[in-house]
Chains A and B, each alone.
Chain A
């Protein structure tokens, strides 16, 4: 309609095209190949776990530590509340609505643990899982954001480092195709969990169908209401009842490494401001 407007848009886009250095096609293909290999490995490992096999190989699940994307220096972050590790109940993740001003998140507490020895890794049996979907203010689109919390329910301090493994379970109780893609949006950190403290990982899924999923019925295989989670470097899983809803993109989940802070407490700044 306003022709001048279209002309201006064209001018801007052309300028951007001209100044942008395009990566070589071979570089793009290599990146695609790497993605494919990573996903194959992840799918294989999770499928093995989902059918109850306990023989998850360290070489695959061990990717949590061997992935070459890990930063050389690992900042150690302590998740609170560590000051008064009294009962586990008080430290349970509060059901604070994610909109609205949230009360001080667990990540705000920054009481350092005085123990000199590095605490042991958190084992599956030490942990309880929670999965909440949330919406960042002003965010709309085709994606669903959720946070996966693992709470230390043991009596000792332990450490979580890396990414969770996740398997989606359908309404029929059967495992669904799941592809976990590891986001490097946040650095991997050692999160030290005092008894009762929780580490959080951002989990993003797509709820609008890909072109080849548009005609599926139920859409994208129907709702997911349970997930199985393998904590980093562990081989056994936690089951979490969670209304994940529809997961399209062939079960792709984009997962960030565990952090001491809740993703829902850290909305991204709206683009443009």
Chain B
């Protein structure tokens, strides 16, 4: 029952974890929200991922990239099928409440909707590449896929999004459609 660490050690670990959580959890939440498209889902998955990180903190704290570990874990939790089943049930209960983020502009909402329509793995690659700013190699490592698979997913995602979000149509981003942008 009792952990076999000295009390001082345990306190240090706790402080370490609390600092890690405080400094990374909001950022990870934003990333996972983009990967899942659902706020409640993202909040649950992120909380669960940090709980798992604490559960094996001796391993995670010495991991090369603890934040990536948590992000990956949260993503896996969110796409896992049983979690989806839960959310399906919860969706009925939450009827009427939206899972959306208040304060988004119309074109933000359009993008969120478009992202929800593509496959989870594609969404994940899009977020890692364009939002987190990772290279294809880094994504390949984090997602445990060959680089070519990452490339394919990215290309497909861009193609799918291009039909819905004008910003993504091509590199010469012509800002048409999706309403006026509220601020530059």
Contact = CB atoms under 8 A, between A and B. Distances in A.
Interface of A: 1-6, 8-23, 25-29, 31-33, 35-36, 136, 138-143, 145, 183-186, 202, 204, 206, 208-209, 211-212, 214, 254, 256, 266, 268-269, 271-273
B144 A12 contact: no
B127 interface: yes
B17 to A, nearest CB: 7
A22 to B, nearest CB: 6
Contacts of B53: 32
Interface of B: 14, 17-18, 21-22, 25-27, 29-31, 33-34, 36-39, 42-43, 47-48, 50-55, 57, 59, 63-64, 69, 76, 79-89, 101-105, 107-108, 111-113, 116-117, 119-121, 126-127, 130-131, 133, 144, 165, 167-168, 170-171, 173, 175
22 contacts: A2-B168, A2-B171, A5-B111, A9-B130, A13-B30, A16-B34, A16-B42, A17-B30, A17-B33, A18-B103, A20-B29, A20-B33, A22-B29, A23-B47, A26-B18, A28-B50, A32-B54, A36-B55, A140-B121, A183-B82, A202-B85, A271-B116
Could you say which of A23, A28, A142, A206 has the most chain B C-beta atoms within 10 Å of its C-beta?
A28
A216 B56 CA distance: 19
Nearest to B90: A185
A12 B42 CA distance: 13
Contacts of A136: 81
A-B pairs with lowest CB-CB distance, top 4: A272-B116, A13-B30, A32-B54, A31-B51
Contacts of B101: 12, 15-16, 19
Contact of B131 (A10, A15, A28, A145): A10
Contacts, number: 182
A23 B47 CA distance: 7
Contacts of B43: 20-21
A202 B107 CA distance: 39
Contacts of B54: 28-29, 31-33
Nearest to B121: A140
Contacts of B25: 22
Contact of A8 (B31, B38, B50, B111): B111
B22 A25 contact: yes
A202 B173 contact: no
A265 to B, nearest CB: 12
A185 B89 CA distance: 8
Contacts of A256: 82, 85
A211 B80 contact: no
A208 B80 CA distance: 13
Contact of B167 (A5, A27, A186, A272): A5
A17 B131 contact: no
A23 B21 CA distance: 10
Contacts of A21: 43
Given A2-B173, A15-B103, A212-B59, A272 B117 contact: yes
A69 B86 CA distance: 14
Contact of B34 (A9, A18, A184): A9
Contact of B37 (A20, A266, A272): A272
Contacts of A9: 34, 111, 126-127, 130-131
A185 B63 CA distance: 30
Contacts of B76: 141-143, 206
B121 A16 contact: no
A8 B47 contact: no
Contacts of B170: 2
Contacts of B42: 16, 20
A268 B88 contact: yes
A8 B39 contact: no
B30 A14 contact: yes
Could you say which of A184, A206, A254 has the most chain B C-beta atoms within 10 Å of its C-beta?
A254
